[in-house]
Chains A and B, each alone.
Chain A
Amino acid sequence: MATRVFVPADTTAASVGADRVAAAIAAEAERRGENIELVRNGSRGMFWLEPLVEVQSDIGRLAYGPVTKADVAGLFDAGFLKGGAHPLGLGLTGEIPYFKNQQRLTFARVGLIDPLSITEYEANGGLAGLRKAVAVAPVQIVDDVKASGLRGRGGAAFPTGLKWQTVLNTPADQKYIVCNADEGDSGTFADRMLMEGDPYSLIEGMVIAGLGVGATQGHIYLRSEYPRCWKVLNEAIERAREFGMLGDNILDSGKAFELEVRLGAGSYVCGEETALLESLEGKRGEVRAKPPVPAISGLFGKPTVVNNVITLASVPIILGCGPAFYHDYGMGRSRGTLTLQLAGNIKYPGMIERAFGLTLKELLYDYGGGSASGRPLRAVQAGGPLGAYIPVEDFDMPLDYEAFMERGAMIGHGGVVAFDDTVDMLKMARFAMEFCAEESCGKCTPCRIGAVRGVEVIDRIKAGTEPEKNLQLLESLCDTMQYGSLCAMGGMTPYPVVSALKHFPEDFGLKENHNPEN
């Protein structure tokens, strides 16, 4: 029997040579007459070990990494196909503490299976949710999602079931399910990993959403920065259609749902749901004023569910294992698991799925191992480019939506970017404004003009031009942007700026503790 060898086809694994390693393994096996089956799986999310090669053995999957093309012949010499010892050997993948100490629900199959094999998908728990969904009334689906406590994982944390209920209750000749796969926050990659590593879970989640609210058409709005996802999703949709997961007769239920992927075009603000809908309609990605909310008037003016990738991909578990199973994870009003993405200046970067409640400190040191540079960590930015900078003193914060909000921070999509003590926080604050100026859709003035003025004001502070006066001006500008902008782009750009100023006043040339509230 052929030995199964796994080499991730994940973007990040490939970015550090996984495709070359896979080709070298195939060639070396051929040369030596070894019978192998090469599987291009998703990533296990331990990126400092990528490319991570795994071999199926009697006792489980054995890991070797990080493997380079030059290591391949040596691995064969060491008999890695039989689990032979090698300096890159890591033992059983499932026993690596970083991986073992996770609670993988949404990511249960990512890295485990051949992403495009429906057979493997089903053998590992896939389709259980959809089988239940086709057999029950729509309202039962919505009730299950409500009871699970699932909240939107894209950043806003809005209760998913409530959104679905609104769409279900709004009569229309056509309704839509839109998946927001415009994962633009720096430091986030969970959506990408899931779409590349387990695309059917997203497809299944979207079909269930369609059955739940009475929508027959779905769109995945994918950012153009994800070329591998584009290929995987299109292939997966085609296979799902052939299998009967999509089409006019889903799992022989007589119910219908169609799905297509649309490509974005490099606009960050299109990750905002109303700008995304404009873009799907073929227009400039300008934000719409709310109300009406998309659940009532969304794509082409029809009731539309807009949910993030992880939100939708979590739905099959809720249906399949029951809402109580999912609700049992988490703390307070943050139920289920959070997919954390640890990046930046960190020794062990990766994707960690855990129930809500882990502290930042545990995440950064127990998982992350501190900085990659070996210098002390100074700050992290959580929640993407619009998220606050959090100083070391606040690392005891539990990862919980409400706990973060209390301290003026946000979890957002779960990205945490670490910086060591060489970071210049004035520069980071300036970058936040520069990014907003670059990416603003231009519809509202506080964001469009405010961001440009913000860069100028910070430059004057840096140059030492009337610093006190300009700091006051910066605070006033941030206040205007925060309360006067139409969407989170302008409304939250002040978060990184104000938090940088509050926690790191010395970087702005201020000696004493500077309190922006005074």
Chain B
Amino acid sequence: MTYDTNRIEAIIDAHRHRPGATLPILHDIQEAVGYVPEESIPIIADALNLSRAEIYGAVTYYSDFRMQPAGRHIVQVCRGEACQAKGGCDLEEHAKRSLGVDFHETTRDREITLEPVFCLGNCACSPSMRVGDEIFGRVDEVTFDEVIRDLKSNRGAN
């Protein structure tokens, strides 16, 4: 186990009094650990007086949550229509080809996990991609490669 269970308990304690606390707890755990560990599910369920199935159901319903560690960076490429209208499909293909992975997969060096996203609200400067909290617009193959190169070379980033 590479995470601190006390940390998880602290997150749960910070939110348990709030009505409908499941999502805020899951977000914070994922932020702290990088994913939602299976072992945390009964702890959350217990604290919120819900069943494990209800928590597991929520974790698996929302595409933001993952139960396995991702690569060091998550790169999201937008698949929305506004991006498609400006060559988004070519960008998707380029991303998959250049990284050698499909959507929802991680590169062998564990650096990049590639995910699709349905709209970043950046439609006026499409096509778009997101890394962490940063959104990139007017992305072509050259800028995509630059972003990836920066991510891989700058090991301390994020």
Are B124 and A12 in contact, CB atoms less than 8 angstroms apart?
Answer: yes
Are B80 and A187 in contact, CB atoms less than 8 angstroms apart?
Answer: yes
Are B85 and A345 in contact, CB atoms less than 8 angstroms apart?
Answer: yes
A197 at the interface (CB under 8 A from B): no
Minimum CB–CB distance for B90 against chain A, Å: 12
Residues of B within 8 A of A228 (CB): 133
A266 at the interface (CB under 8 A from B): yes
Minimum CB–CB distance for A195 against chain B, Å: 10
Are B121 and A183 in contact, CB atoms less than 8 angstroms apart?
Answer: yes
| Known interface pairs A225-B130, A281-B20, A282-B20; A186-B124 also in contact (CB < 8 Å) | no
Are B64 and A184 in contact, CB atoms less than 8 angstroms apart?
Answer: no
Partner of A428, one of B81, B83, B134: B81
Within 8 A of A (CB), among B47-84: 48, 50, 54, 57-58, 61-65, 80-84
Partner of A265, one of B64, B85, B123: B64
Are B20 and A345 in contact, CB atoms less than 8 angstroms apart?
Answer: no
B122 at the interface (CB under 8 A from A): yes
| Chain A interface, >50% SS class | mixed
Stretch at the interface among B4-12, B93-101, B112-120, B148-156: B112-120
Partner of B63, one of A185, A266, A281, A350: A266
Are A343 and B63 in contact, CB atoms less than 8 angstroms apart?
Answer: no
B23 at the interface (CB under 8 A from A): yes
| Known interface pairs A186-B80, A342-B124, A349-B123; A284-B61 also in contact (CB < 8 Å) | yes
B136 at the interface (CB under 8 A from A): yes
- Sorting the interface of chain A by its residue count into under 10, 10 to 19, 20 to 34 or 35 or more gives 35 or more
A156 at the interface (CB under 8 A from B): no
Stretch at the interface among A52-60, A158-166, A411-419, A452-460: A411-419
* A337–B134 alpha-carbon span in the complex (Å): 32
How many chain B residues touch A (CB < 8 A): the figure is 43
Residue from the set B54, B81, B83, B137 with the largest chain A CB neighbour count within 10 Å: B81
Residues of A within 8 A of B134 (CB): 14
Minimum CB–CB distance for B20 against chain A, Å: 4
Are A50 and B58 in contact, CB atoms less than 8 angstroms apart?
Answer: no
Residues of B within 8 A of A385 (CB): 80-81, 118
Partner of B119, one of A186, A227, A282, A345: A186
| Known interface pairs A188-B123, A225-B120, A349-B124; A262-B63 also in contact (CB < 8 Å) | no
Are B61 and A189 in contact, CB atoms less than 8 angstroms apart?
Answer: no
Minimum CB–CB distance for A215 against chain B, Å: 14
* A15–B131 alpha-carbon span in the complex (Å): 11
Within 8 A of A (CB), among B1-51: 19-24, 26-27, 48, 50
